[in-house]
C-alpha cells in the first residue's frame, strides 16, 4: 500500500541533502537573511521527510507534523524578520559575526 510514486529512500535522500544544504548554509553564511533562508530550507527538508513517511505508512501524523512545521516556519519568519530589522538598525549591518554582543 505504498502511496508513493518514487521509492521512499530517494525522497529521504533528497530531504537529507536539503537539510545538509541548509545546515551548511547556516554554518557558513554570515548574512542573517541567508541564515534565515537556510533555516527555512532545513525546516522544509524535515517537513518533506514527514510527509514522505506519512505517505509511506498512510498515517495522518506526517501531515499533522507538516502543518505544525508550517506554523513554526511562519512564526519563525515573522520573528526572524523582526530581528533582522532590529539588527540592521542597531549594527548597520547584517553580518552576524559583527553582532557578537553575547561574547562572554
Question: 83 Cβ partners below 8 Å, 6+ apart?
Answer: 32
Strand partners, 95: 31
Q: Judged by CB under 8 A, which stretch of 8-16, 52-60, 72-80, 91-99 contacts another protein?
A: 91-99
For the window 21-60, what string marks contact with another protein as x by the rule CB under 8 A?
Answer: --x--xxxxx----x-------------------------
Q: Is 96 a residue that touches another protein (CB under 8 A)? A: yes
Q: Which is nearer to another protein, 60 or 100 (CB)?
A: 100
Q: Which is nearer to another protein, 51 or 96 (CB)?
A: 96
CA-closest candidate to residue 76, choices 27, 14, 26, 30: 26
Which residues of the chain form contacts with another protein (CB under 8 A)? 23, 26-30, 35, 96-97, 99-104
Amino acid at each position: 500500500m505504498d502511496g508513493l510514486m518514487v521509492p521512499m529512500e530517494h525522497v529521504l535522500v533528497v530531504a537529507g541533502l536539503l537539510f545538509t544544504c541548509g545546515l551548511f548554509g547556516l554554518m557558513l553564511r554570515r548574512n542573517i537573511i541567508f541564515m534565515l533562508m537556510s533555516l527555512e530550507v532545513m525546516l522544509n527538508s524535515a517537513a518533506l521527510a514527514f510527509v514522505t513517511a506519512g505517505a509511506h505508512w498512510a498515517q495522518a501524523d506526517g501531515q499533522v507534523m507538516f502543518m505544525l512545521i508550517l506554523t513554526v516556519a511562519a512564526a519563525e519568519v515573522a520573528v526572524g524578520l523582526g530581528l533582522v530589522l532590529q539588527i540592521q538598525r542597531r549594527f548597520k549591518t547584517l553580518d552576524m559575526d559583527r553582532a557578537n554582543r553575547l561574547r562572554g
